[in-house]
Amino acid sequence: MLNVYLTIDVELWSPGWQLGPDALSNAFDTYILGKTANGNYGLQYQLDIINDAGLTAVCFVEPLFTKAAGTGYLRQIVDICRKRGNEIQLHAHPEWLKHATPDFKGIDFSERYLLSQFSQQEQYQIITAARDILASVTDCKISAFRAGSFAANTATLAALSQAGIALDSSYNPSMPSPDNGFTEECHAANARFRQADVTEIPMTVYKTHNNTLRHSQLAACTFKELRSLLLKSYQAGHSDFVILSHSAELLDGSRRRKDPGNIATLVKLVAFIAANQDKFRCKLFNEIINTDADLPTAKPLVKLGVNYSLHRAVAKITRLIQARF
């Protein structure tokens, strides 16, 4: 049985780091509600597709934006996630502290914004600040973390341990940050590992025809790729399959219109997972037994042939052309 985690990084951004009320209201409308002239295609719409298929998502919620916006929007985000039983976990982008509270606990943000650029103690302060904000608006058990931009390192796991957060899902060898302490030499891709009493559940990556690593993200993969990856991972005996999405993943690049291609991919993906429950078990992070000493053994990465890359390229070009008309 392959454990499948449908993870959504729930976050908002304000272009140019404008932090006035109107700019933050627009950011919430776009990145959380997914407002377009023809309806809302944001977090609620995405979760409804997942939940209507009988599945549940893991929402990695970014709370540091409240340093600029207050907790009103965060409460609305938590309500959207919890309405149909989706899980709340913690995501953090220290960029918000850099721009909203540059004097945060005396930490120097002038040259840094990725979590992995900070010391273990500074990471602990950033992570616990984010955790405490999120915990102030929900009584959900926060047991898992994902660093913004996957910028985590070994100090992050130690800081999480210090903060009492037992699970992490930041290891993504397809997006190594410059001072990312996780490397394929130290940790096999796609394989759980434990360090500092924290269990890492890595982002699922795969190899393309030319051995390029890609992560399994809704907007970055075709349904054809995701279906094959799931089946091949199941057949190869992998234990976990972590799929990435974002709260604004179903909008197109303009952020003003829905993205019919990404919506179709999600609809087909959840139907496929739901129809194959003899192979796939959609799970939440709070269901992971993180004290399990017997970690699953690493399995070879799944590789997809050139026809998958060509199909993805054609699909992308088709969507670009359709978006112009």
Smallest separation, CB 10 to Zn ion (Å): 9
Which is closer to Zn ion, CB of 67 or CB of 227?
A: 67
Rounded-to-integer distance, Cα 147 and Cα 92, Å = 6
Which residue's CB is nearer to Zn ion, number 31 or number 308?
A: 31
CB of 137 to Zn ion, least distance (A): 19
Instruction: Kindly report the number of other CB atoms within 10 A of residue 26's CB atom.
Output: 16
Q: How many residues does the chain have?
A: 325
The sign of the dihedral angle between the CA atoms of 30, 116, 89, 103 is negative
**Distance of closest approach, residue 49 Cβ to Zn ion, in angstroms:** 21
Give residue for tokens 């909203």.
100
Give the integer Cα–Cα distance in Å for 172 and 187.
11
Closer to Zn ion by Cβ: residue 34 or 238: 34
The first and second tokens of residue 305, run together, are 């042939």
Interface of this chain with Zn ion, residues 145 to 174, rule: CB under 5 A: 148
101, 67 contact by CB (below 8 A): yes
The DSSP line for 300-312 is: PPPB--HHHHHHH
- When the beta carbons of 148 and 176 are compared against Zn ion, the nearer one is 148
CB 229 within 8 A of CB 302: yes
CB 75, min distance to Zn ion, A:
20
Q: Kindly state whether residue 249 participates in binding Zn ion, applying the rule CB under 5 A.
A: no
Work out how close the CB of 60 gets to Zn ion at its nearest, in angstroms, rounded to a whole number.
Answer: 8
Minimum CB distance to Zn ion smaller for 34 or for 148: 148
Alpha carbon of residue 126 to chain centroid: 18
Residue 9 or 252 with smaller CB distance to Zn ion: 9
Interface region with Zn ion, contact rule CB under 5 A, candidates 71-79, 142-150, 234-242, 275-283:
142-150
Subset of 6-35 contacting Zn ion (CB under 5 A): 9, 11
Nearest distance, CB of residue 69 and Zn ion, angstroms: 16
Distance, in Å, from the CA atom of 96 to the CA atom of 101, rounded to the nearest integer, reads: 8
- Give the strand pairing for 193-195 and 198-200: antiparallel
Applying CB under 5 A, the residues found at the interface with Zn ion are 9, 11, 148
